Amino acid sequence: MHTVLALIIGLIFLACGLLLKYLGASGKSLNPVAGYRTARSMKSPEAWMAANRYAAKAFSLAGVIVLAAGAILWWKPLPQFFNEYIIVGLCIIAPVIIILATESYLKQHFNDDGTPKGISPGVTGRPAPDDGAEAKPAGKLPYSWLEYLLELLAAGGLIFSAVMLARYWPQLPALIPRHFDFRGTVDAWGGKGSLVALLITNFLLYLFLTLSRIFLPVYAAKSTAPRPLALGMELLTWLKACTVGAFSYVTWRTVEIALDRAASLSPLFLPLFMIASLVIIAVYCFLIVRAQNKGQAA
């Protein structure tokens, strides 16, 4: 299970890195209202763009580290729950380190008013805004029909997992499958409380990605093209649906195996999940870059 968790979190970090890289390269915004937003990064457009670029590299590196840790622990797993503890610990520590490192980078390269080091504080070097052209207000990015469908599937998968676990909890034996190898065969058994931990992890990932979709996609109409950002939000929703689907499938099969209704996970589960996730990310990377290039050409 820690392999799937590492794969999901690693891909989420890589997707965040891609989105932040796009935001940091989208031009000098006079109204940066998306991406990496802290008190220090919001002091100037230059600081905001630099923060997005730096955080993009940090998130991409964190994604690679989590994926590598998952691969190592799959190859040489540790006993009991240490595998899950390591992956969850990386997932919690990585964002904290990214924020601290990005804030340190901004402090080293920018003055207190947001101007780059080497430029006197208070002198921005930016042209004065055109008072004759009133800036359009920022707006929230609406959900697409595909996002509504994926949201419905994700919510349905989460509800299915909770209902199934509540329905069969009294019938579950004391020992249930706790870990599966790459082929889906059970290679470790543990208490049935691991299913509760699995459901909680599924819910927390769902909540994190849902809140990201609610609060992140705000764009400035004059500075940030909505189409690439909309594609980025669709990518996050795809990852959420895939994540909930994978966790729901593992929960269902674990219950089936514990009740002697099945022998293992499907051997195609993990390879298909990995291939599908990578294909989705690759396709949306291509679409985002193409939309960004079209926006710049226009």
User: What pLDDT digit, counting tens, does each position of 214-239 carry?
Assistant: 766 554 344 456 777 788 888 889 98
pLDDT score of 145 more than 60: yes
d(CA 35, CA 21): 9
Q: Widest CA span of the chain, in angstroms?
A: 73
First-to-final CA distance of the chain: 47
Q: What are the E-state strand segments in the chain?
A: 139-140, 175-180, 186-191, 218-219
Query: In the predicted model, what is the mean pLDDT of residues 192-196?
Result: 85
Residue 50 pLDDT level (bands cut at 50, 70, 90): confident
Residue 147's alpha-carbon distances to 90, 141, 208, in angstroms, are 29, 12, 16
Report CA 21 to chain centroid distance, whole Å: 14
Query: In the predicted model, what is the mean pLDDT of residues 12-29?
Result: 72
Q: Break the chain into its structural domains and give their ranges.
A: 1-119, 140-298
Residue 2's alpha-carbon distances to 201, 239, 284, in angstroms, are 11, 17, 26
What is the torsional sign of CA 285, 216, 22, 41? negative
- Count other C-beta atoms under 10 Å from residue 293's C-beta: 11
d(CA 269, CA 285): 24
pLDDT score of 124 more than 60: no
pLDDT at residue 120 in the model? 55
pLDDT at residue 30 in the model? 43
pTM here?
Answer: 0.63
